[in-house]
Amino acid sequence: MTVARAAHRATVEPAAAPIEIDVADVSIVFDSSKGQVVAADRVSFQILRGEFVCLLGPSGCGKSTVLNTIAGFETPYAGTVRVAGKPVTGPGPDRGMVFQQPHLFPWKSVRSNISHGPRALGKPAKEARAIADDLIAMIGLSRFADAYPHTLSGGMQQRVAIARALANRPGVLLMDEPFGALDAQTRIVMQESLLGLWAKVGTTIVFVTHDIDEAIFLADRVLLMSAGPGRILRDLRIDLPRPRGSEIVLDPAYVALKKECLDLIRAESRQAFEQQAVR
């Protein structure tokens, strides 16, 4: 195991990989009926090219907001977000995104959904189709290339959504609780196949979740966030060997990491609970 871990570390050597995502002192403020709400408070982190990072935190901690800011759907109140050195000014094809719901275009077949991105960028129809067919094979849905989304199961739809997000060959893949709406069995299969896909395409992935097991299973690093206002509580390195299988939950290193996360979350929730009691 030590050997495997060493080998893995060598592939993502912090000094060697350039910084892909740079979130610097980002604060995000929303106007609500009760006045202004601070969704994120001076959040800073850097993600290296090719890294798989999970943003882990309770619902309402602003982790999705941070992800949307990287995507360019939200504008920060203060601070800057840079992707591949360029400041983010809006959504763009260099950052693919998978949402909690698949949001597939219901009037397009699986193939047309996936080839939409390349075609939007002006690729010839034939080339766009070839890109789509490659990805369809990769997600194992070749039999369903001409099917419409409503005929597919939730897990299949989300696989198509991942393929669609990858079709423009983005440097960054942003995933907003993509498996949150799936049942437990499907979710495990999806996690494993996502890791398989990532091993092939090698994009940088930022994955938002509130599920501790999911975060540790998938990530190179887990950024633990706290609620009200959203802050980065801890930056945890997940030094578990890859490829990872479901038996990893028995690994003492895994158990130790999970305990660390749980302890931090417990301390944080207690504090939040007491603060609410005082108010």
Partner 1 sequence: MTREQLQRLNTAISILSIPMFFLVWELVSRSHVVNIILFPPPSVVAVAMLEWVKSGQFAIDLTVSVTRVVIGFALGAIAGVLFGVLTGQFQLVSSLLSPIFHILRPIPPIAFVPIVILWFGLSETGKIFLVFWGVFFTVWLTTHIGVQKIDPGLIRAARMLGTPRRQMLTEIVLFGALPYIVVGLRTAVSISFYTLVAAELAGTFAGIVYRIEIAQQNLQTGQVMGGLVALGAVSFLADRGFAAVTQRLVWWR
Query: Which residues of this chain interact with partner 1, rule CB under 8 A?
Result: 71, 73, 90-93, 95-97, 99, 101, 103-107, 116-117, 119-121, 148-150, 164-165, 167-168
- Compute the least distance from the CB of residue 134 to partner 1, in Å: 17
Q: Which is nearer to partner 1, 14 or 106 (CB)?
A: 106
Q: Which is nearer to partner 1, 166 or 190 (CB)?
A: 166
Q: Report phi then psi at 238, rounded to 5.
A: -100, 95
- Compute the least distance from the CB of residue 87 to partner 1, in Å: 18
Residue 214, C-beta contacts closer than 8 angstroms, at least 6 positions apart? 54, 179, 187, 191
CA-CA distance, 257 to 238, in Å (whole number)? 8
Q: Which is nearer to partner 1, 104 or 182 (CB)?
A: 104
Q: Which is nearer to partner 1, 147 or 248 (CB)?
A: 147
Would you say 225 and 53 are in contact if contact means Cβ atoms under 8 Å apart? Answer: no
Nearest to 227 by CA among 68, 100, 75, 65: 65
Q: Report phi then psi at 177, rounded to 5.
A: 45, 55
- Compute the least distance from the CB of residue 191 to partner 1, in Å: 22
Sign of the C-alpha dihedral, residues 205, 210, 211, 215? positive
- Compute the least distance from the CB of residue 121 to partner 1, in Å: 5
- CA dihedral defined by 267, 48, 94, 154, rounded to 10 degrees? -50
The verdict on whether omega for the bond into residue 229 sits within 30 degrees of 0, i.e. cis, is yes
- Compute the least distance from the CB of residue 2 to partner 1, in Å: 41
- Compute the least distance from the CB of residue 98 to partner 1, in Å: 9
Q: Which is nearer to partner 1, 45 or 148 (CB)?
A: 148
Structure tokens belonging to residue 55: 């943003």
Q: Which is nearer to partner 1, 208 or 232 (CB)?
A: 208
Q: Which is nearer to partner 1, 164 or 231 (CB)?
A: 164
- Compute the least distance from the CB of residue 105 to partner 1, in Å: 6
Residue 64, C-beta contacts closer than 8 angstroms, at least 6 positions apart? 176, 177, 208
